[in-house]
Chain A
């Protein structure tokens, strides 16, 4: 099978989050913020390269927006090439990761960064359709592929 994008540009990984004294203080209310959600998705594996979504610049911190009070999270991701056939799978992996990791009160919207993909509208519509996402996740083959993307690799 040929790769969609055989020679992707690889980006520098961000440094680990600095642990501040208040993070270890149990009396401080620790709200879910942009960086925390970004940390959840940056280690997701690309479906075709042994690299993370962060290393391919598919996700970046600036495109993660958390409104903790309104229980809203919106994420946009940028496929490496405008005809990437993996765009829906990448978006689905991001959705599933957050579905599993975050409290259910959050409404998560995952979209393609405007102008970065040829079928942007169609992919966005599919990712926003929770009925189709629910049906997709009952497909054992697809679920296996998603789980592979979500398994953190030992380096």
Chain B
């Protein structure tokens, strides 16, 4: 039997909690909320406590937070149209830069695997790429307006400089650097409504997406000259939807996360539930099969907005909700 057991509930935010993010070492959890604050949670003598509350960084809802790969910086994206970079030198968080330029709400921010690039996306339909210079300056390197609607999320490939974004226009787009500028090289269509979230697996050759159409989709990369004979153009890979998980979720799916070690997929849903899917042992690359292994039906009292596997402890999961709480879960097998 495979199940999720609740370890603890964090209370402290006064409004919906939109996002939770583990530091790369897995020792700290950051959360952000409609109450315009970021909270940092960590263990003190085996007990989880709120270590710091970051206020005054933003004047509106903080929608998303992301740690730099080195764990020394935290980026926060807000409805106030800015992104703030926080530095954690000497253990104290201090805002060191504000990235301005988006016309309205910033929906997400993420660091590339090297930590030298940051991507942001907004309701203004654009995706921006920022370069991080050695002396902690942040310069806009590209503005891409490929989407025709509100861009919900941006995420980087786990080890290449390839960026993915998803949108209210129902599509997913992939970008790469080409002759000193960034261009969209593939558009993934299959979802029937808003795509809320996308994430790469550990290998970077697979992508999972989820959305308003209450489905999860798995996309497979096919490189030029692939043995399956999937047509490609030039030097670019193409991505094909190889699996759709439908009928499991009763409302919009707001987040999805691959477990780095086990490959398990966890989803956060508007029906208050958390679900975990595992790949079938006789699953193939071109036609993978995923089985629902557990559902926590009333994981939270309201919509679950985000889920995150701890990067170092594969049995530890964090979730957050409109009900203002954050929960930690342990997998029991």
Q: Which residues of A contact B (CB under 8 A)?
A: 104-105, 107, 125, 128-132, 134-135, 138
Contacts and interface: CB of A to CB of B under 8 A. Distances in A.
B323 interface: yes
Contact of B107 (A107, A128, A131, A138): A131
B323 A104 contact: yes
A134 B61 contact: yes
Contacts, number: 38
5 closest A-B pairs by beta carbon, nearest first, are A135-B105, A135-B79, A138-B60, A104-B302, A138-B79
B63 interface: yes
Contacts of B302: 104-105
A65 B150 CA distance: 31
Contact of B193 (A125, A135, A138): A125
B107 A104 contact: no
A129 B194 contact: yes
Contacts of A125: 168, 193-194, 212
Nearest to B150: A132
Given A107-B251, A125-B193, A138 B301 contact: no
Given A105-B302, A128-B212, 5 more contacts: A104-B323, A107-B271, A125-B168, A129-B168, A138-B79
A135 B301 CA distance: 22
Interface in B45-62: 60-61
Interface in B155-210: 168, 193-194
A138 B194 contact: no
Interface string B2-39: 00000000000000100000000000000000100000
Contacts of A138: 60-61, 79
Given A131-B107, A132-B150, A135-B79, A105 B123 contact: no
A147 B286 CA distance: 53
A134 B16 contact: yes
A131 B196 CA distance: 10
